[in-house]
Amino acid sequence: MDGPDVGWYLIVAAILFGIGALGVMMRRSPLIVLLSLELMLNAANLTLIAFARQQGDLDGQIFALAVMAVAAAEVAIGLGLIVAMARRRMLLDVDQASALRG
Amino acid sequence: MESVLVWIVWFVAAGACLGTGVAVVSMTNPFYSALSLIGNLASLAVLFLLLSAEFLAAAQVLVYGGSVMVMFLFVVAYLGGRADAPWAGGPRLLRGAAVVAAVALLVEIVVVLGLAWGDNLTDPAQIEASFGSPASIGEALLTDHLLAFEITSIVLLVAAVGGVVLGTTREKDEEVA
Amino acid sequence: MIVGAWICLVAPLAGALAITLAGTRISRTTAGWISTLTTFVAFAGALVAFVGLWAEGHGDREHLSTAYTWLESGDFQVELQILLDTLSSTMMLIVSGVGGLIVWYSMGYMEGDEEERRYFAYMSLFVFSMLMLVQAGNLLLLLIGWGLVGLASYLLIGFWHSKPEAVAAAKKAFVMNAIGDVTLALGLVLLIWETGTLEYLGVFEQVDGLSTTTVNLVALGLLGGAVAKSAQIPLHTWLPDAMEGPTPVSALIHAATMVTAGVYLLVRASPIFEAAPDVQALAAILGAITLLVAGVIALVQWDIKRVIAYSTMSQIGYMFLAAGIGAYGYAIFHLATHAFFKALLFMTAGVVIHHLGGEQDIRKMGGLRPLMPRTHLAFLVGALSLAGIPIFSGFWSKDGIVAAAFASGDTLGYTLYAAALTGALLTGLYTFRLYFAVFHGKPSELVKEHSHDGQREGPLSMLIPVGVLGVLATIGGLLVIPGVWEPFLHWIDETAEPTVKATVGQDYATSAIAVTLGLIGFFVARRASAAGRQIVTSPGIWRVLEHKLYFDEAYDALFYRPAAAISVALRRNVEEPVVERSLDEIGTGTLQVGGEVARVQSGLLRTYAIAIAFAVCVLVVVFVAVR
């Protein structure tokens, strides 16, 4: 294989995952939390595809495709939730959605 | 010579990928965040191409970068100024914990990968030219992974219905609000 | 041809679904017609399959058709497949033909019932299940059909769910059948374990390679199922109680088809039973005991339907006897003729009951002959056939079985022969006791009350099926005339080669004895009836028989009471102090812990996310460390 080994891709994926996780845990805007989640999913996808290349097995790519579909589904639901929150005149802040407080 | 060219492409793509990733989580305005994510997806697509995942690279750009992100931008536009959100906030302890958790995750991923795969990451398998092509993916999807394929379609359908239900205005909701 | 078989299987299911889904949108009559017509469509399919099979040459009359592979687990696979051969096509014709007539008859019988739609949906379900049972290409599908007919039987016995007796009878039938289902299922599990397949042909090929113990256990399991389904001793007590259901149900399920499923199984699985001769002999012995016991008990019953029910048990005893000694053709032949004449008897009994406003006690009947001439004729045909009087159908089939018992030789064979001949006498006795009690003598109060001038005997939908069955019961036996013309036997022999065959001489000698005994029964019953006394005169014997030889009481003492006592003891000593108390403790404990833990629930989503991230970190460390 020309260029960098698969390990390099994995490191990029790991860093991307970390960035995404940080976004999910730090940011208060639900929109950005959702975007950060996408980052994490894409990092996972990159890992899957990198390993698929390493093993020469297409299954990893198929899995990545399924992850994409799940991500699309998740965006649809997430955006639906955000729109519903906006409709109810709630502040768009995940800290405000705290009805689960024990 | 070609190898050097690939390295250069890889560096540009990986750098763009990480840079846009940081931008996604750090922008105050979700609109820019979303745009950054599109850039991130595009640079990931380049990485996919380098890994011989042609079909996935195309799908990434078309489906993800195209339709999903357009949906995102629509919502951002619909919300307008209300979408702007404070960067972070809450107790300082929480912020610190978040950073620690993220770093810990990152370190662990690298360590575990190194432990489990460190020795096996240098010689990738020999693959045919058709690896990752739409034809081969299609064949795999419609033969070995047919069930997964069908289930995925159901997941998407449920999500679509769910999105519609959540987004639908009901008179009662408006009154409550 | 095979398409016909599939249509035969699917049509009643479609009928049941249509009636169920249509609900109250269709009228009751429409529901009845849907059920009747789909059953007749099934009959047409069966006829097509039969004719197609007939046209094939000898040795080619066996077709396995697979719809799809339905269950796959390692090397073991089960396919949704039907087996069309001479045996199954015969059963298909009987089930769908007699079934169609009886469903049609029900339209008249059930007229005015509140829940006719439910009734017809159940009936269609039953016909479908029964067809599945007989058409199944492997033992698992047979087991499914076996369970489904049990379910349909349960639903239909308890159809009048406001009657406590009916509900109790339904439960009893279900439990008794469940015992058989379990032994059958265990037998099949053993077969899967040993042979890795449940397909008839695959199993039969491998039977010779199995150990004696295995074959015996499998055969015992199958026999257990057959005994329960066919109400043979010792699992017979549910059948008389099942008469609580509507009369057409008794005719279809508890006379013509379902209860004979056991006989079908014995014949279908004959290679297994032949490899386990002891178990096969046991089947014959149980059949012989049942035919005697049931015949004796039938002498003292007062309920018109119960008499016929005991007679059914007795006749199935004959079939078991035949299958047990290896006279498979005669077993199925008697099954067929029995389906005709017993359904006929039940249906005429139904006409009488219908006419008398639901009365079933023969002490309140009598003198119906001039009032219901056509019904009387039909009943007489059924009775003559049952008692084995020539030329009626029962004569040809029953005598064949008795002669085969003689031909099988040795002590067991002669004992069975004696038992079967005694059974012939008993049959004559109880049949004509019933006949004279209902149709002769002076009209009773009840009969007078329900009889008016110019009144019809029943609606046409009841009389036509009775007529058709009457004709069948009269001439149906002519398919086998020993030594002259035996197409029915040859037909069945292609699937199940008999291991015993009576000579023509044995056949006619046996017939002479059996007919004589039957006629003796007739005359004794007539004299007793004319003199106004019962056939069983000793009050002691009467009491024992009236309690059905105390089977119910014995089961009550043996199984129910100990089980109930153990349950009560367990409740008092285990359930209350241990289980309930500990549950309470767990409940209050959880409540307290929950109260403490609730404080951690800040409601801030981000804290949850961080908690998840840390948890993942810890888990990863744990996994790596463990590895």
Determine contact: C598 vs chain A, CB below 8 A. yes
Which chain C residue is nearest to residue B100, measuring alpha carbons?
A: C614
Strand partners, C211: none
Determine contact: A26 vs chain C, CB below 8 A. yes
CA distance A100 to chain C (A): 5
What average pLDDT is seen over chain C?
86
Distance of CA A83 to the CA centre of its chain: 20
The residue type of C568 is V
Q: Do C603 and A21 touch (CB under 8 A)?
A: no
CA distance C605 to chain A (A): 6
* Cβ contact A42:B44 at 8 Å: yes
Using alpha carbons, list the distances in angstroms from residue C558 to B165, C27, C561, C564, C572.
Answer: 61, 48, 7, 11, 22
Residue C138 confidence (pLDDT) above 80: yes
| Touching subunits for chain C (3+ Cβ pairs under 8 A) | A, B
pLDDT band at C68 (very low <50, low <70, confident <90, very high): confident
* C-alpha gyration radius of chain B: 21
- C585-609: pLDDT as tens digits: 898 999 899 888 877 777 777 888 8
Q: Which of residues 111-150 of C touch B (CB under 8 A)?
A: none
* Cβ contact C390:C515 at 8 Å: yes
**In the numeric block, which tokens belong to residue C349?**
């009994």
Give CA–CA dist C164/C161, Å, rounded.
7
> Residues 6 or more apart from B9 whose CB is under 8 A from it?
A3, B46, B50
User: Prior bond to C443 cis, omega within 30?
Assistant: no
- A33-78: pLDDT as tens digits: 899 999 999 999 999 999 898 888 888 899 999 999 989 898 889 8
CA distance C610 to chain A (A): 6
- Tell me the average pLDDT across A17-36: 88
Phi, psi of C73 (to 5 degrees): -145, 100
Q: Do C606 and B101 touch (CB under 8 A)?
A: no
Which chain C residue is nearest to residue B116, measuring alpha carbons?
A: C624
- C334-389: pLDDT as tens digits: 999 999 999 999 999 988 888 888 888 888 887 888 888 888 889 999 999 988 88
| Touching subunits for chain A (3+ Cβ pairs under 8 A) | B, C
Determine contact: A97 vs chain B, CB below 8 A. no
> Residues 6 or more apart from C622 whose CB is under 8 A from it?
none
Number of DSSP helices (H) and strands (E) in chain C, helices first: 27, 2
Which chain B residue is nearest to residue C616, measuring alpha carbons?
A: B105
**In the numeric block, which tokens belong to residue B106?**
């990152």
Residue C413 confidence (pLDDT) above 70: yes
The three-state secondary structure class of B118 is helix
Determine contact: B143 vs chain A, CB below 8 A. no
- Predicted pLDDT of residue C114: 78
Q: Do C614 and B104 touch (CB under 8 A)?
A: yes
| Greater model confidence, C469 or B127 | C469
- pTM of the complete model: 0.67
CA distance C256 to chain B (A): 45
pLDDT string in tens for chain B (177-residue length): 578 888 899 999 999 999 999 999 888 888 888 899 999 999 999 999 988 888 999 998 888 888 888 888 888 888 876 666 666 666 777 788 888 888 988 888 888 888 777 777 777 777 887 888 888 888 888 888 888 888 889 999 999 898 888 877 665 555 554
User: Prior bond to C391 cis, omega within 30?
Assistant: yes
* C-alpha gyration radius of chain C: 28
Give the CA angle between residues C416, C400, C272 to the nearest 5°: 65
| Greater model confidence, C201 or B48 | B48
Nearest to C380 by CA among C546, C522, C562: C522
Give CA–CA dist C417/C554, Å, rounded.
29
Helices (H), C23-135: 28-55, 86-109, 116-135
Q: Which of residues 43-72 of B touch A (CB under 8 A)?
A: 44, 47-48, 50-53, 55-56, 59-60, 63-64, 67-68, 71-72
- Residues, chain A: 102
- Predicted pLDDT of residue B177: 46
User: Prior bond to C234 cis, omega within 30?
Assistant: yes
- C244-263: pLDDT as tens digits: 888 888 888 888 888 889 99
Element (H, E) at C466: helix C460-475
- Predicted pLDDT of residue B47: 92
> 């729109």: which residue's tokens?
A83
Q: Do B156 and A73 touch (CB under 8 A)?
A: yes
Find the CB nearest A97 among C597, C605, C609.
C605
Q: Which of A5, A8, A9, A27 to mutate to test the interface with B (most CBs of B within 10 A)?
A: A27
- Percent of chain A surpassing pLDDT 90: 28
- Predicted pLDDT of residue B57: 92
**Would you tell me how many other CB atoms lie within 10 Å of the CB of residue C510?**
26
Chain A partners within 8 Å of B52 (Cβ) = 53
Determine contact: B173 vs chain A, CB below 8 A. yes
- Predicted pLDDT of residue A39: 92
Residue C525 confidence (pLDDT) above 90: no
* Cβ contact C432:C350 at 8 Å: no
Among B114-118, C20-24, C322-326, where is mean pLDDT lowest?
Answer: B114-118
CA distance C139 to chain B (A): 29
Give the CA angle between residues C309, C315, C320 to the nearest 5°: 125
> 């190194």: which residue's tokens?
B114
